[in-house]
Structure 1
Amino acid sequence: MPAYKLTYLNARGGAELIRLLFAADEIPYEDVRVDRDKWLELKPKTPMGQVPILEVDGHVICQSMTVVRFIAREAGLLGKTLLDQARADMLLEGGIDVGKLFEEMVMEKDASKKVEKKKEFGEKTLPPFLALYEGFAGDNGYFVGDSVADLFRHCVLQHDGFHHSRVP
């Protein structure tokens, strides 16, 4: 089995789904979490100036969703059929779209704009997104079943800022 080393900030963020994938298939890996100072030192040494990065036997892979799909493939969690895989991709990509809006809201520096963005996200963006995604869950409560999309649902929709009871 390859040696995996995941490097990310000392936060859940863009690496949490990757960590869940490792855990789901009990794949051993080194979880390197860096603070701001270490990140500023590391950034110029990364392939695209960002994290997460995954080292696989010395080869470096970056871009969150590339790493997610790489580990999901290794863990057998992309979906059993091509249609399952496409459905999982569709749900992941839709979540990324909403995640970008969430990140813009959180990162807003101007206090009055931040209040506006929170209101917009909490009232106009999140409710239709959650309703739409609830509709994708089957009778068994899963998006696909044994897939990265269902781990995504657990990771983001139930435990991070998207969950309706935790919108800032």
Structure 2
Amino acid sequence: MPSYKLIYFDGRGRGEIARLLFAAGGIKYEDHRIPPTAEAWGQFKPKTLMGQLPMLEVDGTMICQSLAIARLIAKEAGTCLAGQTDLEQARADMIVDGVEDLGTKMNQIFKEKDESKKVSNMPYQGHDFEEAQFEEKKKEFAENTIRPAMVHFEKLASSDGYFVGNSLTWADVAFYSKMLFLGGEIGDDPLKGHVNLNKVRDNVTSNPGIAKWVKERPETPW
């Protein structure tokens, strides 16, 4: 078994899907966490491959990009997490890419907020207005993007609660991880009213390894 070292900030974010997959596959790894401060990141950033995290060290070889890391872990797990055929693997990739699209669109709202703060010379009341705009954009995102997407995902999930085949794959785990994040940001449950998607979440959270990880993982602000 290779030696794994996951490097990410002391938070969930883009590193959590890897941790969930390690847990699902029962794979031991070193969970190396960097404090989410400008000083700590400034010192570590020159050591990264592409100026970003997460990174995964596998027997001394580094790879980055969260989905490339997750896909590798799924293949290494040996429990069919990646999909049992080329077609199943492609379908899993399709689901993962779909949920990643939602995350990218949500991140754009945060980016616009950050850029607005950088150029704003408004007094304190102006910043209150910016915050109101931010909340309104999140509300519009929930109504116009997330909810229609959940209708499509509901049809893609089986009545048994799997996106691929009849057992847990990394597609289910990625969906659960991203929806947990998005739900926290919009202040609502994106899966409300979707029977199949709630079964997907139940299948993920009832996995023994994942259930143990969720119960014991470090408490972090994000």
What's the TM-score, normalizing by structure 2? 0.70
Selected match of 1:129 from 149, 152, 173: 149
2:103/2:182 contact within 8 Å kept:
no
Shift of 1:113: 4.3
Aligned counterpart, 1:6: 6
Aligned residue runs from structure 1 range 1-168, under 5 A = 1-35=1-35, 36=37, 37-76=39-78, 77-107=81-111, 108-109=113-114, 110=116, 111=130, 112-144=132-164, 145-157=167-179, 159-162=180-183, 165=188
Identity in percent: 45
Q: Distance in 2 between matches of 1:89 and 1:154?
A: 15
Structure 2 alignment gaps of length 5 or more: 117-129, 191-222
Secondary structure of the equivalent of 1:160? helix
Secondary structure of the equivalent of 1:127? helix
Runs of 4+ in 1 over 3 A off after TM superposition: none
Q: Distance in 2 between matches of 1:160 and 1:98?
A: 11
CA distances 1:35-57 after superposition (whole Å, capped 9, x unpaired): 12322211111010000000011
Secondary structure of the equivalent of 2:31? strand
Q: Distance in 2 between matches of 1:59 and 1:53?
A: 10
Q: Distance in 2 between matches of 1:113 and 1:84?
A: 41
Shift of 1:80: 0.8
Determine which structure has more spread, i.e. the larger CA radius of gyration.
2
Letter in 1 for 2:70: V
Aligned length, in residue pairs: 166
Q: Distance in 1 between matches of 2:183 and 2:49?
A: 29
What's the TM-score, normalizing by structure 1? 0.91
Q: Distance in 1 between matches of 2:64 and 2:42?
A: 17
Q: Distance in 2 between matches of 1:45 and 1:14?
A: 18
